[in-house]
Amino acid sequence: MSEPVNTKKITIALDAMGGDFAPKNEIEGAILAYKEKPAGSDFEIIFVGDENKINPELAGKVTYGLKYTIVHTSEVITMSDDPVAALKSKRGSSLYVAAEIHAKGQADAFVSAGNTGAMLSISTTLLGRIKGVTRPTIGTFMPTVNDTPVFLLDVGATVDMKARFLYEFAEMGNIYAKQFIGIENPRIGLLNIGEEPTKGTDVLKETYTLLQKADLNFIGNIEGRDILMGAADVVVCDGFTGNVVLKFAESFTGILKSKVKNYAYKNMINKLRVALMAPTLRSILSDFDYQNYGGVPLLGVNGVVIIGHGKSSPKAVKNMIIRSQEFIKNDVNSKIEKALEPKNVT
């Protein structure tokens, strides 16, 4: 008899060379995840990467009993590598091998803070898609004026867009938001340039109709300003717009910090004022900190793939590892397959 899914020990293939601070942050993140894991739960890590870098990094550390193995690789996919070329030419890379370990069933999840495009193309190729899914998708969480974040998808830069893809994104976003945000019936909004169903491109008009017919809490079109205002829990858009919005939002804290700095440089009194407000501002900006979300899943592939920001800190890597376990325990993929089953006409 196989163990029930909730008590089975989970094995995670972690691309130890993925992020900008690899393997340091990957290793520290894994240890942190183990140290803070809830009583009764357990997991194992397969560090995939250059053992000559991983071993020295592990050497001096208290590991709190973390069970791990190392699978040695010497190649690395960089952030500037072309995803499709990497899929073909970098099969010895830590990212590829970690995905492959998961695809072969030797690990239950694949986690990396590496090249997002490469994760998308390699995972889709090695794992395949969930039945009913045409196009896997990547979403992102953003803060809102409410207590709960909003899940925006697709940000995975799928530039050709069909109503069917957007509909699938809505179904997948709905399931993931339920689990992650912990709400019963997420409000689904379609990103558009006006509220009326007749707004936008033909693809968006067609999507509007599809979403109305679907078994979703579809609240209609929403506009750019509604995202952070929390008008919806899940915002569906094409990958071009989503990618631009995501990167634009990331620069918001950048410009704010720069303005604060310029203001402080003007004179001593300003400098004092800024010194006084710095902790306040930091506390407020922490809501915009991707590290709190710690990675997002690649939804729609036949596996568990958690993608982290290239700049992931140990805390972010820890959260990615937690996300992958939640994803497995909540059986997200079966729910997606069920939601996208062709409905019987009764």
| Binding-site size, its own copies (CB under 8 A) | 50
One of 144, 174, 302, 313 touching its own copies (CB under 8 A): 144
Applying CB under 8 A, the span of 10-18, 174-182, 274-282, 289-297 interacting with its own copies comes to: 274-282
Q: Which amino acid is at 41?
A: S
Dist. CA 195–CA 223, nearest whole Å: 7
Asked if 227 is part of the footprint of its own copies (rule: CB under 8 A), the reply reads: yes
Strand order in the sheet with 188-191: 67-72, 43-49, 10-15, 109-112, 305-307, 296-299, 137-142, 150-153, 234-236, 188-191, 218-222
Q: For tokens 């993931």, name the residue.
A: 176
Dist. CA 278–CA 284, nearest whole Å: 10
Applying CB under 8 A, the span of 67-75, 244-252, 312-320, 325-333 interacting with its own copies comes to: 244-252
Applying CB under 8 A, the span of 9-17, 51-59, 232-240, 322-330 interacting with its own copies comes to: 232-240
Asked if 259 is part of the footprint of its own copies (rule: CB under 8 A), the reply reads: yes
Dist. CA 319–CA 292, nearest whole Å: 8
Tell whether omega for the bond before 154 is within 30 degrees of 0, i.e. cis. yes
Dist. CA 123–CA 340, nearest whole Å: 20
One of 10, 245, 316, 321 touching its own copies (CB under 8 A): 245
One of 153, 226, 295, 314 touching its own copies (CB under 8 A): 226
Asked if 229 is part of the footprint of its own copies (rule: CB under 8 A), the reply reads: yes
Looking only at residues 204 through 223 of this chain, which bind its own copies when binding is defined by CB under 8 A? Answer: 223
Asked if 181 is part of the footprint of its own copies (rule: CB under 8 A), the reply reads: no
Calculate ∠ Cα 306-309-315, nearest 5°: 85
Q: Give the interface with its own copies as residue ranges (CB under 8 A).
A: 143-145, 157, 159-160, 191, 193-194, 200-201, 223-229, 237, 239-241, 243-252, 254-256, 258-260, 263, 270, 273-274, 276-277, 279-281, 283-284, 287
